[in-house]
Amino acid sequence: AEAFFQPADLCNVKIAITAGPTREAIDPVRYLTNHSSGKMGYAIAEAAAKRGAQITLISGPVNLPAPANVARINTESAEQMHQAALEAATNHDIFISCAAVADFRPAEIASQKMKKKSGEDEMILRLIKNPDIVASVAGLTRQRPFTVGFAAETQDIEQYARGKLSRKNLDLICANDVSQQGQGFNSDSNALHLFWADGDKALPLAPKHDLGQQLISEIIALYKEKLD
Ligand code: CTP
Ligand code: CA
């Protein structure tokens, strides 16, 4: 019912959001990826669009329809997502990095399907680091958006999340305890703990749609606080 009473109070706010996994090619028929469903990022995009915000959703390969009133840009690799994110970042007020970006990609993409070699029972794939998309956006010196990251952790949540907050120069980080059942990757529910320079707030386990609405409210409050 809340949808009927939601004010379109974010008409003047432009938000870019990355969501889903990336896909890192090995050869023409194979790739490396992860279990990200994109549901959290899409829920955030939908929640913000319902409040009238102008949304650009930069999405890795997922099985989700674009939410209403959202401009979607489809990407596959981290390098493609990086390029799309940097192009979008400077004309958006807020950047939310929800994507599960592959940390590494194959050093070389074979141009033909890789074949087994007779007599070899192992093969070694060399990986190189991908660009850190959210750190590149937060590092912009001109037209830098208010920058929000996520942190997927299985232990020492606050310590690791705050480490990422400061190392990547973020305004806010949303920590996700991925060791807990029923939250995080591919789940319909999630719990988050938000950390920023001089505060923190727990958002308890809730359907990703509800959490998306709460998260947008928290992000907007901190964004406005910084503008003042
Ligand atoms: N991120 C990104 N580009 C990357 C890696 C991560 O933009 N190449 C972003 C994610 O979208 C997220 C944040 O950085 O908002 C933290 O991602 P996470 O995987 O938790 O942290 P990493 O910095 O990759 O560190 P690690 O995986 O080693 O914990
Ligand atoms: Ca990572």
Q: Which domain holds residue 173?
A: 2-104+127-227
Residue 115 lies in a domain: no
CA 4 to ligand 2 center in whole angstroms: 38
Ligand nearest to the Cα of 153, by number: 1
DSSP per-residue string spanning 8-34: -TTTT-EEEEEESB--EEEETTEEE--
Domain count, the chain: 1
pLDDT at 1 over 60: no
Residue 168 lies in a domain: yes
Residue 65 lies in a domain: yes
Q: Quick one: pLDDT at residue 179?
A: 85
Q: Is 12 a catalytic residue?
A: no
CATH of the domain at 100: 3.40.50.10300
Residue 203 lies in a domain: yes
How far is Cα 151 from Cα 109, in angstroms, rounded to an integer?
Answer: 29
How far is Cα 45 from Cα 212, in angstroms, rounded to an integer?
Answer: 8
Nearest alpha carbon to residue 20 among 43, 2, 4, 3: 43
The pTM for the full model equals 0.96
CA 43 to ligand 2 center in whole angstroms: 21
Question: How high is the ipTM of this complex?
Answer: 0.99
Interval 39-58: pLDDT, tens? 999 999 999 999 999 999 99
- Which numbered atom of ligand 1 lies nearest the CA of 131? 8
Q: Quick one: pLDDT at residue 212?
A: 97
How far is Cα 206 from Cα 190, in angstroms, rounded to an integer?
Answer: 6
Query: Has 150 been labeled as part of a binding site?
Result: yes
Q: Quick one: pLDDT at residue 29?
A: 98
Q: Quick one: pLDDT at residue 45?
A: 98
How far is Cα 110 from Cα 175, in angstroms, rounded to an integer?
Answer: 36
Q: Quick one: average pLDDT of 7-31? A: 97
Residue 5: pLDDT band by 50, 70, 90 thresholds?
low
pLDDT at 196 over 80: yes
How far is Cα 137 from Cα 134, in angstroms, rounded to an integer?
Answer: 5
pLDDT at 114 over 60: yes
Q: Using CA atoms in the order 201, 205, 211, 215, what is the torsion angle rounded to 10 degrees? A: 10
Residue 120 lies in a domain: no
pLDDT at 184 over 80: no
Residue 114 lies in a domain: no
Contact 185, 100 (CB under 8 A): yes
Interval 89-111: pLDDT, tens? 999 999 999 999 999 999 999 99
Distances from the Cα of 30 to the Cαs of 27, 134, 191, in angstroms?
5, 26, 33
